C-alpha cells in the first residue's frame, strides 16, 4: 500500500472517532511524528555501533549517537510541519520555535490551528546495547506553549516502538468531549511514514486471561516495605513478570496484551526520575485513552490532573489496567 493511501486510511480512522475539530492535528502533525519514527527506526537498524556522542543533556545524562540522530529526525519533521510552532525535548528541554522566522503575527496566531510538541526522542537508549526494544515518546499540546497549561491541552500522544517490528500507538482526544477519544496501533513501514493499521481500537480487557506486572526499580523494594508487599502480592496472585527496563516497551506490552501494570515508585532513597513533560504526560494520555489509569505513586492523583509548570518536573508512575492500578494505589498510597 502506498504511503499516501495508508496515511489517508489512518486519518479517516482518527477523524471518525474525534470529528473535524482539529484537522491539522490529524492530517499534518501526527504524520510528521510517524515519519520521525520511521527515520529513527531506519537509523537504529544501521547503528551497529552504539556509543556515547561525547555530550550530555541538561539533566546530566550521557548522550548516545542514536539519541542525537533521533533528536535531529524529529526536529526536522516538526520544522517542516506548518501547524507546529514550537518543540522541546528531553535532550534539549527548552521550548524553541520551529518556524524559520521564529515569529508569527498575532492575527495569524489567533486564526491558525497551532501545536507544541514535547518529546523524548529515544527513551531507553541504555538498553540498545543488548538489542532490546526501545521507543520514542511524543506529546502534542494545543496552543503555543505546554508550560503552565493543564494537561487537558495535550490533545494527542504517540509511542513509537523499535523492536523486531516498528510500531506506534497513537492516542487522540477532543477537548471537552470525554467520549471522543481514540487509541490506535499502527505498523510503521518506512521513513516516509507509510503505515498499516494493526488495531483500530486499543483497549484494556475487562476479563484478562493473564495478569502482568512490570516493576521498575525493583531494588527499591529492599528499602520500602509497601513496595515489597505489593510485589509479593503479585507473586502470590500468580501474576506474570514482564519488565524490560524500558518505559515504552513495558507500557505497550500491557496495551497489546490488554492487561498489566507498570510501576515506577518513589522512595526516600529512590527519587522520581521520569520527566512529566517528555514521558509521564504522553504515556498517561495513551493509557487513559485505552481505558486505563495513570496515577502518581506518592499521592495517588491522576498524572493528567496537575498543570505543567516547568520542563524539568519529575514524578513516579503507576499505570495500566484500572483494577491493577487500584491494587497498587491501595498498597503504596493507602
* Averaged pLDDT, groups of 10, the chain, 334 residues long: 66 81 92 96 81 54 77 96 96 89 46 90 87 96 95 96 96 76 93 88 89 94 94 96 96 96 92 95 97 96 95 96 96 92
CATH 3.40.190.80 residue ranges of the chain are 212-332
pLDDT at residue 51, as a whole number: 62
The answer to whether 300 and 274 have CB atoms below 8 angstroms apart is: no
pLDDT at residue 262, as a whole number: 98
User: Distance between CA 136 and CA 233 in Å, rounded?
Assistant: 32
pTM: 0.91
CATH of domain 212-332: 3.40.190.80
Give Cβ neighbours of residue 16 (< 8 Å, ≥ 6 apart): none
pLDDT at residue 61, as a whole number: 60
pLDDT at residue 108, as a whole number: 46
Give Cβ neighbours of residue 210 (< 8 Å, ≥ 6 apart): 240, 257, 259
pLDDT at residue 104, as a whole number: 47
Q: Residue 1 CB: number of other CB atoms within 10 A?
A: 12
CATH 3.30.540.10 residue ranges of the chain are 3-199
CA 72 from chain centre, in angstroms, equals 18
pLDDT at residue 102, as a whole number: 47
- Which secondary-structure segment (H or E) carries 156? strand 154-162
Using alpha carbons, select from 183, 321, 208 the residue that is nearest to residue 262: 321
Using alpha carbons, select from 15, 72, 309, 287 the residue that is nearest to residue 317: 287
Fold of 3-199: Fructose-1,6-Bisphosphatase; Chain A, domain 1 (3.30.540)
User: Distance between CA 185 and CA 164 in Å, rounded?
Assistant: 16
Cell of 95: 521550548
Residue 17 has phi, psi (to 5 degrees) of -90, -30
Amino acid at each position: 500500500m502506498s504511503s499516501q493511501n495508508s496515511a489517508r486510511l489512518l486519518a479517516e480512522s482518527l477523524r471518525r472517532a474525534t470529528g473535524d475539530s482539529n484537522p491539522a492535528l490529524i492530517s499534518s502533525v501526527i504524520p510528521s511524528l510517524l515519519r520521525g519514527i520511521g527515520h529513527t527506526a531506519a537509523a537504529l537498524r544501521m547503528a551497529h555501533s552504539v556509543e556515547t556522542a561525547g555530550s550530555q543533556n541538561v539533566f546530566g545524562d550521557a548522550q548516545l549517537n542514536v539519541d542525537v540522530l533521533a533528536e535531529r529526525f524529529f526536529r526536522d519533521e516538526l520544522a517542516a510541519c506548518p501547524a507546529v510552532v514550537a518543540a522541546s525535548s528531553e535532550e534539549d528541554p527548552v521550548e524553541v520555535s520551529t518556524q524559520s522566522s521564529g515569529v508569527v503575527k498575532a492575527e495569524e496566531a489567533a486564526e491558525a490551528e497551532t501545536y507544541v510538541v514535547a518529546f523524548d526522542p529515544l527513551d531507553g537508549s541504555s538498553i540498545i546495547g543488548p538489542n532490546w526494544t526501545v521507543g520514542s515518546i511524543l506529546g502534542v499540546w494545543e496552543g503555543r506553549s505546554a508550560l503552565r497549561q493543564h494537561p487537558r491541552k495535550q490533545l494527542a500522544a504517540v509511542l513509537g516502538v523499535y523492536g523486531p517490528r516498528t510500531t506506534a500507538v497513537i492516542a487522540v482526544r477532543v477537548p471537552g468531549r470525554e467520549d471522543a477519544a481514540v487509541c490506535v496501533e499502527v505498523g510503521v513501514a518506512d521513513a516516509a511514514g507509510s503505515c498499516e493499521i494493526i488495531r483500530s481500537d486499543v483497549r484494556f480487557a475487562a476479563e484478562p486471561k493473564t495478569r502482568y506486572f512490570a516493576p521498575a526499580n525493583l531494588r527499591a523494594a529492599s528499602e520500602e516495605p509497601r513496595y515489597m508487599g505489593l510485589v509479593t502480592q503479585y507473586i502470590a496472585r500468580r501474576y506474570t513478570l514482564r519488565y524490560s527496563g524500558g518505559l515504552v516497551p513495558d507500557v505497550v506490552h500491557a496495551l497489546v496484551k490488554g492487561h498489566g501494570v507498570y510501576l515506577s515508585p518513589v522512595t526516600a532513597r529512590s527519587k522520581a526520575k521520569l520527566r512529566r513533560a517528555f514521558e509521564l504526560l504522553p504515556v498517561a494520555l495513551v493509557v487513559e485513552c485505552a481505558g486505563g489509569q495513570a496515577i502518581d505513586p506518592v499521592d495517588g492523583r491522576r498524572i493528567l490532573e496537575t498543570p505543567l509548570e516547568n520542563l524539568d518536573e519529575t514524578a513516579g508512575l503507576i499505570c495500566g489496567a484500572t483494577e491493577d492500578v487500584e491494587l497498587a494505589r491501595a498498597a503504596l498510597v493507602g
